[in-house]
Structure 1
């Protein structure tokens, strides 16, 4: 086991965790021993969060040192994996066995367990977030004992436990739904007027298996990225000109000036699902963490109005925003999913790494989008108060009761969760 008193940082380097100790246990017994002896403990995944959701003043745990598991149940259509695995690692093994996940996030570098815990997602009108693939989870509780929750055996609690913010225990393994492997091709259309996006977003988001719209807002143009699943959709692209944009054959990176070699292959070249659904290749670090991120989830019916409101703020984004991405997520039943109960559209903002410059602009963005029903991403920067965030999630009070029942002493709480749950109506 590795234990250190050195301070840990998140991926972007804007957060220095306050934990007294950082542990990387090598066995389940070591993990159970640490948790049983801790007054407060929390898990740090791949560190791709931009706030203090993973912080603790007690014992910070990493589970990527535990023995790796990838156990495919072909008959049941599932895979059980150790919580420390990253999506890129899991996808490689799944594809080699002829299987796939239905959805992936932009980055294959992020941990499966951490992504699930915070409601992270991919894109597509019919694609639910990554957490909706989970059918069972194994935990170590505050007493050091293990327990399992599953959709089949715990239908009342399970939807509340999947997106759990680290408040229920230490996840050691997850079981996910899988399907047969498939191929995807992607095409890039720069030069689409933002006004066209506002007027025609429902048609744009429905035009492929996965669709992303990128803009910096102040240029008043957008780039549309189409990812078509070749066993379900027509193999070709919509045409050389589409929506006022022109199909590009040049490799493209969402952030101007970044090497396009970091990105998965474009230009309509067919490839395996795990080499096309993410925006970035697992062998590259796409930006080195030199950024801050925010994301707001709105009812999908508000997409056009939200685009119009952000377009009015165009001048405010200059010099502060690197790029913004718009994607869709299908409704989920998971209590703390930002897409719970409604088909959603997510507005993602990749900011410069300057919190003092970003927060006033972010506050202005939220002032426009919160009245439309926006919910902030759990792992990203928000200017909203805990009370404002809490009122956006109708099942948060139910989640607090679930957390109290599984962790009555609050071992897995931290300042972030204390503030959030105290503000719960």
Structure 2
């Protein structure tokens, strides 16, 4: 995790995984929006830093890093409108209990409740479920400090809003977000093991639609998926009992961790014990560090209609990437209209890879995966490791040029541009 202490603010720092050392010499942590406006207006190269859970240089800069974690804590719930306005630096795990006590909930959560609201939305982070959009899909409005220090609010329906939510910090430093809410609900979670691969491929849509949230974990060994995590909403009829067998898979007899052989104490409660949405939708519990960070991660989104063909393409080359893989995860994400969301315009399936922490060894595996998924117009997760060229990315996003023009309008001098944005969105493209 990032250390925001006064002593650390002038020290070199890394991301959560330790594979990126930030180039900035200074981390600013303003205590007020006014202080943030002054700092941004006076800076020449500025990047917002969340909780450091990205695995690439999306948050890096040679200028000043700024954290909004020190801004006044805001959780304003509008019961009638079913919205919550929250300060951008708060982690999801810091707002969910308040929402639940008010009888409300977010539609979904990511695997980790440890990530900041703004950072997760800015990179297109998501949970799972055929009817569930990425986390940014809940954003109704956002407030941000732009390059000249102005405080700007964009609301759903405003010009440019669809390009501003998943924007990787290119438009400014987000200070608040207003999120859509739904009535609070309870979840039961079960894990099934040794799910036959042939059953998955013959009934993919059925399998992924059988619970509110479904995650498949696989080491890509061939023949079977290691684990299926089912997160089922509790209905008015009350909790239900899970069958011992499900599509040929066997119900786990105790709690499980996604990575085989790792103790499950850090994971959310399983075995069908009912609990509130925020205590079951993530895979990991807020009170524990979910991992030691010794890993790299990548993720690619394909249209759900292509999921089986994409799976088969990856299965054919598994010997090229499985040796450097810790675990893979497969999830569904509902399509949205956010310009740079990896699920923009299409219901999607996301193929996630947790790699060993060895960039040199992982890079050839990434290239093999991207080559195998290229026929399916696979889009990468913006906060994870990928090797796609800018020209390839441009062809994957219908609103690529619209976003580039929006960023240039908000930030004509390129104050928020960094090496990551300059490479993936070159202005001479």
Q: 1:8 to 1:40 in 2, by over 3 A?
A: same
Q: Which residue among 350, 371, 389 is the counterpart of 1:367?
A: 371
Question: Any residues of structure 2 matched to 1:265-284 within 5 Å, and which?
Answer: 265-284=269-288
Find the aligned partners of 1:306 and 1:236 in 2 and give their Cα distance.
34
Find the aligned partners of 2:318 and 2:374 in 1 and give their Cα distance.
18
Match of 1:210 in 2: 213
Match of 2:34 in 1: 29
Match of 1:13 in 2: 18
Match of 1:181 in 2: 184
Offset from partner CA, 1:205-257 (integer Å, 9 cap, x none): 11011000110002532111111111379843552111221111211000122
Q: Which residue among 104, 109, 112 is the counterpart of 2:109?
A: 104
Question: Any residues of structure 2 matched to 1:100-179 within 5 Å, and which?
Answer: 100-152=105-157, 154=158, 156-179=159-182
Moved over 4 A (4+): 232-235
1:381 maps onto 2:382 in alignment: no
TM-score by length of 1: 0.96
Secondary structure in 2 aligned to 1:4? helix
Offset from partner CA, 1:5-58 (integer Å, 9 cap, x none): 311210100000101321111111221111011111000101110000001111
2:321–2:368 CA contact under 8 A, matched in 1 = no
Say which is worse superposed, 72-81 or 215-224, in terms of deviation.
215-224
1:41–1:60 CA contact under 8 A, matched in 2 = yes
Secondary structure in 1 aligned to 2:194? strand
1:343 maps onto 2:344 in alignment: no
Say which is worse superposed, 303-312 or 161-170, in terms of deviation.
303-312
Find the aligned partners of 2:341 and 2:280 in 1 and give their Cα distance.
25
Secondary structure in 2 aligned to 1:125? coil
1:190–1:248 CA contact under 8 A, matched in 2 = yes
Find the aligned partners of 2:65 and 2:130 in 1 and give their Cα distance.
37
Secondary structure in 2 aligned to 1:365? helix
Q: Which residue among 389, 395, 402 is the counterpart of 1:398?
A: 402
Q: Which residue among 262, 265, 270 is the counterpart of 2:266?
A: 262
Find the aligned partners of 2:284 and 2:328 in 1 and give their Cα distance.
16
Find the aligned partners of 1:209 and 1:360 in 2 and give their Cα distance.
35
2:320–2:368 CA contact under 8 A, matched in 1 = no
> Where does structure 1 lack aligned partners over 5 or more consecutive residues?
none
Q: 1:401 to 1:208 in 2, by over 3 A?
A: same
Q: 1:350 to 1:239 in 2, by over 3 A?
A: same
> Where does structure 2 lack aligned partners over 5 or more consecutive residues?
none
2:303–2:348 CA contact under 8 A, matched in 1 = yes
Find the aligned partners of 1:83 and 1:30 in 2 and give their Cα distance.
15
Match of 1:357 in 2: 361
Match of 1:48 in 2: 53
1:423 shift after superposition: 6.9
TM-score by length of 2: 0.96
Find the aligned partners of 1:333 and 1:317 in 2 and give their Cα distance.
32
1:105–1:121 CA contact under 8 A, matched in 2 = yes
Q: Which residue among 304, 311, 316 is the counterpart of 2:308?
A: 304
Find the aligned partners of 2:369 and 2:239 in 1 and give their Cα distance.
38
Report the number of matched residues.
423
1:295 shift after superposition: 0.1
Match of 1:330 in 2: 334
